[in-house]
Amino acid sequence: MNLDLLFVGTGGSAPTARRGLPSTLVRRGGEHVLVDCGEGTQRQLMRAGGLVELDLVLLTHLHADHWLGLPGMLKTFDLRERSAPLTVAGPEGTARALGDLLRITGGVRYPLEILELAGGAQLRRDGWTVHALDVEHRTRARGYALVEDVRPGRFDPDAARALGVTEPRDFGRLQRGETVGAVRPEQVMGEARLGRKVVLSGDTRPCDAIRLAAHGADVLVHEATFTSVERARARKTGHSTAAQAAELAAEAGVRLLALTHLSARHRPSEALEEARAIHAGTVLPRDFDVVEIPFPERGTPELRPGAGRTRAPAGGAGGLDDPDAEPRDG
């Protein structure tokens, strides 16, 4: 099953000409999960090929730059006569804040479920689980770990044949955990394999909740609002530096670290250089970049620059002829 991350908005606090406000789209098979929804997110998604029918929205916290794009998006779904249910989950206060704005905008007609997740809460999905993490920001905030179910081990057809099982349908029964005659599944199946794990920090100081959840993660998406020259400001405002994010990723054994929520006051190349000096497996995505996440036995997570942009905006903005295009920095 395919799993990737589309970086819809990678800036922090305020949009720039090159980076939109925070939003990341997780695509797993046919399921679409949006993590945060800053102002302008639905337009960004349209530039990335169209406003997809979301299944779940996860809000990390209720600072304006992380969720004020959501009411407009929900109304757009309503105008398109959406009928499928949608779940929005976030920290304490999400129901009241979103409910107040929806009352102003007229509400929606499709089934909308709003959940408030405390740290440690779990939200079960088909084949994977969302774990809400109690992170450390200036307000109630959550990070999220998206963890796939454990997968069965590999089936060994030669071992099955040696034990007298020859029918293809019986091979399938063994793979589903059934016993065939005297042959038990554990005799022909390899060790169970872990699913993939993606952790998204939201806005936070470096914290143990993310460090523990990210242990062995395939991808950690961690904020890097500042570089180390403003470490004191990062601590005061409840943010992280690029170096701190890299230190956490290295301690947790993360395969790929993706830095987001970059402040416009810092050059992306400086943040990336600072992080890579500590954790070599670091990238700094731009808007519309994609990280593909294969199963571990099939390869390593890979950044695909610009792979999410399927519709070039008017005038070629963001392309090779765009004078404002941000230099590629990882």
Residues 57 and 76 reside in one and the same domain: yes
Radius of gyration of the chain (CA): 22
Predicted local confidence at residue 323, as pLDDT = 32
pLDDT exceeds cutoff 70 at 217: yes
Highest mean pLDDT among 47-51, 163-167, 211-215: 211-215
Predicted local confidence at residue 24, as pLDDT = 98
Residues 146 and 261 reside in one and the same domain: yes
Residues 240 and 289 reside in one and the same domain: yes
Determine the average pLDDT of the residues in 288-315: 85
Burial code of 255-280, b = ≥16 C-beta within 10 A, e = fewer? bbbbbbbbbeebebeebbbbbbebbe
Cα–Cα distance for residue pair 250/163, rounded to 1 Å: 45
Tell the burial category of 326 from Cβ atoms under 10 Å away from its Cβ (0-12, 13-18, 19+).
Answer: middle
Predicted local confidence at residue 105, as pLDDT = 85
State the catalytic residue, choosing from 4, 55, 65, 134: 65
Indicate the residue among 192, 212, 241 that finishes a domain: 192
pLDDT exceeds cutoff 50 at 50: yes
CATH number, domain of 109, equals: 3.60.15.10
Indicate the residue among 173, 192, 211 that finishes a domain: 192
Predicted local confidence at residue 141, as pLDDT = 97
Q: Identify residue 42 by its one-letter amino acid code.
A: Q
For the whole model, what pTM was predicted?
Answer: 0.89
Residues of the binding site for Zn(2+):
61, 63, 65-66, 137, 203, 261
Residues 129 and 277 reside in one and the same domain: yes
Residues 284 and 157 reside in one and the same domain: no
Cα–Cα distance for residue pair 131/155, rounded to 1 Å: 30
Phi, psi of 197, rounded to the nearest 5 degrees: -130, 130
Residue 329 is among the residues annotated as catalytic for this protein: no
Indicate the residue among 168, 192, 216 that finishes a domain: 192
**How many domains does the chain contain in total?**
2
Question: How does pLDDT run across 9-35, given as a tens digit for each residue?
Answer: 999 888 888 899 999 999 999 999 999
Cα–Cα distance for residue pair 256/217, rounded to 1 Å: 8
Residues in the chain: 330
Residues 66 and 170 reside in one and the same domain: no
Q: Which of 200-204, 251-255, 324-328 has the lowest mean pLDDT?
A: 324-328
- Give the domain extent around 34: 3-151+193-316
Give the confidence band of 328 by pLDDT, cuts at 50, 70, 90. low
Residues 84 and 199 reside in one and the same domain: yes
Count of alpha carbons within 13 angstroms of residue 142, beta-carbon side: 28
Output the CA–CA distances (angstroms, integers) from residue 315 to 43, 130, 215, in the order listed.
Answer: 16, 40, 44
Predicted local confidence at residue 324, as pLDDT = 37
Contact status, residue 132 vs residue 122, Cβ threshold 8 Å: yes
Question: How does pLDDT run across 63-89, given as a tens digit for each residue?
Answer: 999 999 999 999 999 999 999 999 999
Predicted local confidence at residue 234, as pLDDT = 94
Determine the average pLDDT of the residues in 302-310: 93
Question: How does pLDDT run across 153-176, given as a tens digit for each residue?
Answer: 888 999 999 999 999 999 999 988
